[in-house]
Amino acid sequence: MKGPAGNEGELPPGFKEWQWGVTYTVRPELKAPLVPGREYRMVTGVRRKILHEQPFTAYAELYDRAVTIANARINKLTRPTTGESLQTWVLCHGWQRIDIAGVNDLIVAFRTSAVVCLHSDVAYPESPATPNSAELMMPGGASADILQRINTQRMDEVYTEFDHRDANDPNDISMISYGEYVRREDDVSVETLAVHADDLARFHVETTGRVVGKIIRREWFAITGSELVVMNVYVQTAEL
What is residue 68's predicted lDDT score, i.e. its pLDDT? 96
Q: Do the Cβ atoms of 48 and 163 come closer than 8 Å?
A: yes
> 106-142, pLDDT tens digit by residue?
999 999 999 999 877 777 788 999 999 999 999 999 8
Q: Do the Cβ atoms of 173 and 216 come closer than 8 Å?
A: yes
Across residues 69-88, what is the average pLDDT?
90
At position 89, the amino acid (one-letter code) is W
| Residue 185 pLDDT greater than 60, yes or no | no
Question: Which of 34-43, 167-176, 192-201 has the least mean pLDDT?
Answer: 167-176
Instruction: For residue 215, give the nearest of 177, 175, 179, 180 by alpha carbon.
Output: 175
Where residue 63 falls among pLDDT bands split at 50, 70, 90?
Answer: very high
Strands 173-181 and 85-99: unpaired
Across residues 83-108, what is the average pLDDT?
89
How many C-beta atoms lie closer than 10 Å to residue 184's C-beta? 6
What is residue 148's predicted lDDT score, i.e. its pLDDT? 65
Q: Do the Cβ atoms of 164 and 108 come closer than 8 Å?
A: no
Strands 157-163 and 40-51: parallel
- Range 213-217 contact pairs with CB under 8 angstroms and sequence separation of 24 or more: 213/237, 213/238, 215/9, 216/9, 216/10, 216/11, 216/12, 216/173, 217/7, 217/8, 217/9, 217/10, 217/11
Residue 45 host element (H or E): strand 40-51
What is residue 147's predicted lDDT score, i.e. its pLDDT? 66
What is residue 227's predicted lDDT score, i.e. its pLDDT? 87
What is residue 138's predicted lDDT score, i.e. its pLDDT? 96
Can you give the pTM of this predicted structure? 0.93
CA dihedral 224, 228, 232, 237 (to 10 degrees): -160
> 7-62, pLDDT tens digit by residue?
999 999 988 889 999 999 999 999 999 999 899 999 999 999 999 999 999 999 99
At position 29, the amino acid (one-letter code) is E
Across residues 157-173, what is the average pLDDT?
84
